[in-house]
Structure 1
Amino acid sequence: MRRTLIALAAVSAVTLPVVPALAQTATATETFLAAKPTDVLSYNLVGLDVKNPQNESIGEIKDLILSQGSLAGYIVSVGGFLGMGERYVIVRPNSMKVVYSENDKKWSATMNATKDQLKAAPEFKYEGRWKR
């Protein structure tokens, strides 16, 4: 029993000074934030049909690429039928317009491209570190 108390005292002496130091490095305002009306949740984007200005379906957002905490790209599937033969390309965020319609209560994604341009873009493959 005495050894257990000594061990607990030793562990407490080592860990207690560290905990307050960690708590002081980040305040609640630096760690947490509130969503703004202009923010988009990822689940609203994944699966979203991408259309061109002529309102033709040219692909579907399949995934998002985050780099150092910021949106770096959309992975868009193009071609294929029922998941067969589709290929993936990465689209820069500034080349796609994602908007929410208050009237329709729907998200939409448009980009100035054709299905053929997307098919000709460099292919992204889910392999290696990006394997699903």
Structure 2
Amino acid sequence: MRKVLFAAAAIPMLAGAAVAQNGSPPANSPANTPPASMSNEPTTARTTTAAETPSKGPSFISVPDTAMLSENVVGLDVYNSQNNDIGKIHDVVLDKDNSVKGYILSVGGFLGMGTHYVAVDPGAVNITYDANQKTWRAAMNATKDELKSAPEFKYDGRWSASRS
């Protein structure tokens, strides 16, 4: 899917490069600058302020072999001790210090309809990696009915911002 999206995004750029070789004036020349009333630039562009930018420069780390990446966790089916599929890890909850505070599990539903989301403590979900099978697995001591009856987490307000 990512390759298809990349290819779709690359075609207009390549076409633009081919057109740019026809001897037209540079894109930033006055001849190619549209009047302000015809510009496609957004008028309410979001800028990052100095207060939002950390004063510390980049710090690089070594990722230990025992670490998990969110890509490996989000989307995992969660099973109970009876090997029943009871939900799926839909999201990871981080606090202001960027440490994991929970998982959002999706329970029930079909094709996005009727899905119930619940926030659970990360200690309630055991995530393991099977090196022989090269697979990740999530397990939890719960039933699907317990998760369906848990308080619902709703993606609204600050949690719906920037979602695509």
The normalised TM-score by structure 1 is 0.76
Map residues 1-132 of structure 1 onto 2, 5 A cutoff. Answer: 31-67=59-95, 68-131=97-160, 132=163
Distance 2:154 2:79 in 1: 22
Distance 1:73 1:80 in 2: 21
Unmatched segments (≥5 aa) in structure 2: 1-54
Count the aligned residue pairs: 106
| CA RMSD after TM alignment | 1.4
The one-letter code matched in structure 1 to 2:154 is: K
Once the two structures are TM-superposed, the CA of residue 113 in structure 1 deviates from its matched residue by: 0.3
Higher relative contact order, structure no. (Cα contacts within 8 Å, ≥ 6 residues apart): 1
Once the two structures are TM-superposed, the CA of residue 69 in structure 1 deviates from its matched residue by: 1.3
Q: Which structure 1 residue ranges, 4+ long, deviate > 6 Å from structure 2? A: none
Once the two structures are TM-superposed, the CA of residue 83 in structure 1 deviates from its matched residue by: 1.4
Identity %: 55
Distance 1:32 1:95 in 2: 31
Q: Indicate the structure with greater helix content.
A: 1
The one-letter code matched in structure 2 to 1:49 is: D
Distance 2:71 2:87 in 1: 17
The SS at the match of 1:50 is strand
